[in-house]
Structure 1
Amino acid sequence: MSLELYGHPFSSYTWKALIPLYANETPFDFRSLNPGDEEQGKFLKRVHAAGKFPVLVDGDRTVIEATSIIEYLAVHHPGPAPLIPADPDEAITARMLDRVFDNYVMANMNRVVAAYFLDRDNPMAGPRETPDSKEIQAGKRGLRQAYAWLERWLTDNKLPPHVSIVTSAAAPSLFYADWVERIPEDCPRLAALRAELLALPPVSRCVEDARYFRPYFPPGAPDRD
C-alpha cells in the first residue's frame, strides 16, 4: 500500500510535506481536499487535533503536522535527499530553522491572509467587508523582523544541503510571505535564497500545481513567480 497525503495544492503547509516526497521520488497518492466537503471535514476532525491538513497515512499509521511528516519520511521512507542532517549538531540547527520559518515567516504571512477572513479560523465563512488593518500591519511587522534575523543568520552560517527539512519549510513560507510583504533590498541573501528555492524541481512543481488557485489568494496574488 502506497503512502497517502491529504492536503490542498495551494496550501503552504501541504507544500512543506510534498517537497520531500517529490525530492526523494517517494511513491504516494495525493488526496486533494475541498474545504467545503463535509465528509472530508469529518475525516480531518477525526485524525487531526485541530481538523487541519496535511495528513500522511502509511497503512495503519497516521502522521499529522508537516514537520512530523518530514521526520517520519526521513526515518521510514529515506531517499537521496538528506531531509534531516546526519550530524546531531547540524540536525539541531536544521530543526531550529524549521521552527523559525514556520513560527515567524509562515505564521506572520498567514496572519496577514487571515485578516481578510470574516472568521480567521474558517475561511469558508467568507471575506470580511473590510480587512483587519491592525492584523495586517502586525503580520507585516513580524515578517520584517523575521527577514532581518534570517539575513543576519545567513551572513554567518550555511544552510543544510537541499532538499532538507529547512528547504521544505523555507520554500513555501518565503514564496507566500514575499507576496504579502516583499523581502527588502537590505536582505539580499534572503531574496537570493527564495529565488534558489523556487528553482528547485520539487518546489517549482508545487508552484505550478497551485497556479490555478492564485485568484483565491485574499490579499491578491502578484503577477510574478
Structure 2
Amino acid sequence: MALAVYGHPFSSYTQKVLIALYENGTPFEFRTIGPDTPQHSAEWLRRWPLRKFPLLVDGDRQVVETSIIIEYLQLAHPGPVRLLPADPMAALDVRFLDRFFDLHVMNAAQHAVDGALTGNPTKRQDGLAMAVEKLERAYAWIEGQLAGRTWATGADFTLADCAAAPSLFYADWTHRISDAYPLLRAYRSRLLSRPSFARAVDDARPFRPLFPLGAPDRD
C-alpha cells in the first residue's frame, strides 16, 4: 500500500511534510481535505479526531505531528537526502531549530491569522500586534545564527529547513522581514528556490485568496 498524506496544499504544516517527501522523491498519494472531498475528511477525522493535519498513513500505521512524520519517513522510507543527521549532537541542533521555526515563527504568525479570521477589527489588530512583536524577536535571533550558513544548521538541508520554509514564507506575508535582517531575507530566498519547496508553493498557489490577511502579489 502506498503512503497516503491527508492535508491541504495551503497548510504550512502540510507543506513541511510535502517538502520532506519531495526531497527524497518518495511516492505517496495526497488526499486533500476540503469541501470537495468529504470522503477524505471523514476518513481523516476517523483516524485522528483531534482535527489536526497532516496525517500520514503507511499500511496499518498512522503518524501525526510533522516532525515525527519526517523522522518516521527517514526510518521507514529513507531516501538520498538525510533530513536528520546521524550524529546525535548534530541531530539535537536540527531538532531544536525545527521546534524554533514551528513554535516561534509559524505559531507567532498564526496569532495574526486567527485574529483576522474572527472578522472582528479589534481582534484582528490585536492579533497582528502580537504577531509583529513575537516575529521581530524571532527574526532578530535567527539573523544572528545564519552567518556562514547556507541552511538552518550549516551546509546540509535538514528537517529544520523543512520547518523554516513554510514558516518564513507565511511569516513574511504577515510581517515583512525588513532590510535589517539581510541574512534572513537571503535564507528565505534560498528556501523558495529549493525545488522541493518551490513545488509545494506552486501546489498551493490556487488557494492564495484564502489567506485572511491578504496574500501579497509576490513569491
TM-score (ref. length: structure 2): 0.92
For 2:162, the equivalent position in structure 1 comes to 168
SS of residue paired to 2:128: helix
- Identify which range, 48-57 or 171-180, moves more after superposition: 48-57
- Identify which range, 80-89 or 55-64, moves more after superposition: 80-89
Residues in 1 aligned to 2:163 and 2:156: alpha-carbon distance in whole angstroms:
12
Residue deviations 1:102-149 (CA, integer Å, cap 9, x gap): 00000011111111123xxxxxxxxx1425111210011101110111
- Structure 2: give runs of 5+ residues left out of the alignment: none
Match status 1:96 vs 2:96: yes
Residues in 2 aligned to 1:71 and 1:6: alpha-carbon distance in whole angstroms:
17
Deviation of 1:36 (Å): 8.1
Aligned partners of 1:94 and 1:160 also within 8 Å: no
Residues in 1 aligned to 2:192 and 2:122: alpha-carbon distance in whole angstroms:
29
Deviation of 1:186 (Å): 1.5
- Number of residue-to-residue matches in the alignment: 216
Instruction: State the identity %.
Output: 47
Aligned partners of 2:143 and 2:183 also within 8 Å: yes
For 2:128, the equivalent position in structure 1 comes to 136
- Identify which range, 194-203 or 152-161, moves more after superposition: 152-161
For 2:78, the equivalent position in structure 1 comes to 78
Residues in 1 aligned to 2:128 and 2:210: alpha-carbon distance in whole angstroms:
18
For 1:196, the equivalent position in structure 2 comes to 190
SS of residue paired to 1:57: strand
Residues in 2 aligned to 1:81 and 1:211: alpha-carbon distance in whole angstroms:
26
SS of residue paired to 1:20: helix
Aligned partners of 2:116 and 2:127 also within 8 Å: no
- Structure 1: give runs of 5+ residues left out of the alignment: 119-127
Residues in 2 aligned to 1:110 and 1:25: alpha-carbon distance in whole angstroms:
30
TM-score (ref. length: structure 1): 0.90
Aligned partners of 1:67 and 1:165 also within 8 Å: yes
SS of residue paired to 1:115: helix
SS of residue paired to 2:56: strand
SS of residue paired to 1:159: coil
Residues in 2 aligned to 1:161 and 1:5: alpha-carbon distance in whole angstroms:
29
| Match 2:203 to one of 204, 209, 212 | 209
- Identify which range, 128-137 or 195-204, moves more after superposition: 128-137
Aligned partners of 1:197 and 1:203 also within 8 Å: yes
For 1:124, the equivalent position in structure 2 comes to none
Aligned partners of 1:15 and 1:206 also within 8 Å: yes
Deviation of 1:170 (Å): 0.4
